[in-house]
């Protein structure tokens, strides 16, 4: 709450302690820096990652993952919304933490969905590049940045179609 209210630049251990009704010493015993505290808070507030479910299509699994990503970015979970995250990304240490704690695990799930689709013969391996897994989350993030709002379900389906183009009749 304090991070969302004052932003990363205005965040102080004093302000956090006051909001938590505790002393600064209690905070410093657990976290030696503001960055460590924010890292712990981000990891704590992240909802569990959706799992790719066997028996579901790659499209359905991707839609589930992208919907969860959208909800995290939209602030529909305890995790801070995109506006707060954008502030954090200006700090190199926080950017690295965000990449490791938030982005990397989500990309791994997308990559596993794409690999499974290739193994099952549902996706041409030549369509997969090292950047394919990043397309969906990048388009969701861009939608937020350009419109200030989350993509709706129809737009998420279009994003899935961009990552895995629908099969044509000749496929």
Domain spans in the chain, listed from the N-terminal domain onward: 42-163
Domain 42-163 maps to which CATH number in 3.40.630.10, 1.10.357.10, 3.90.1570.10, 3.50.50.60? 1.10.357.10
Using a 10 angstrom Cβ sphere, with 0-12 exposed, 13-18 middle and 19 or more buried, the burial of residue 160 is buried
On the question of pLDDT at 87 being above 90, the answer is: no
| pLDDT band per the 50, 70, 90 thresholds, residue 82 | confident
CA 11 to CA 98: how far, in whole Å? 17
User: Quick check: 78 pLDDT over 60?
Assistant: yes
Is the pLDDT assigned to residue 13 strictly greater than 90? Answer: yes
Residue 146 clears pLDDT 90, i.e. is over it: yes
Which residues are CB-contacts of 59 (< 8 A; sequence separation ≥ 6)? 160, 164
Confidence of residue 170 (pLDDT cuts 50, 70, 90): low
pLDDT score, position 18: 94
């Amino acid at each position: 709450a304090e991070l969302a209210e004052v932003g990363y630049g205005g965040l102080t251990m004093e302000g956090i302690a006051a909001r938590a009704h505790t002393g600064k010493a209690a905070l410093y015993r657990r976290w030696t820096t503001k960055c460590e505290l924010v890292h712990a808070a981000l990891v704590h507030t992240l909802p569990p990652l959706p799992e790719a479910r066997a028996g579901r299509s790659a499209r359905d699994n991707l839609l589930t993952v992208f919907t969860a990503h959208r909800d995290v970015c939209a602030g529909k979970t305890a995790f801070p919304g995109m506006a707060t995250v954008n502030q954090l990304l200006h700090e190199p240490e926080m950017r690295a933490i965000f990449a490791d704690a938030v982005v990397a695990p989500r990309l791994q799930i997308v990559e596993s969905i794409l690999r499974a689709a290739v193994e099952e013969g549902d996706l041409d391996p030549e369509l997969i590049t090292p950047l394919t897994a990043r397309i969906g989350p990048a388009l969701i993030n861009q939608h937020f940045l350009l419109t200030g709002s989350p993509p709706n379900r129809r737009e998420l389906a279009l994003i899935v179609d961009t990552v895995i183009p629908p099969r044509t009749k000749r496929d």
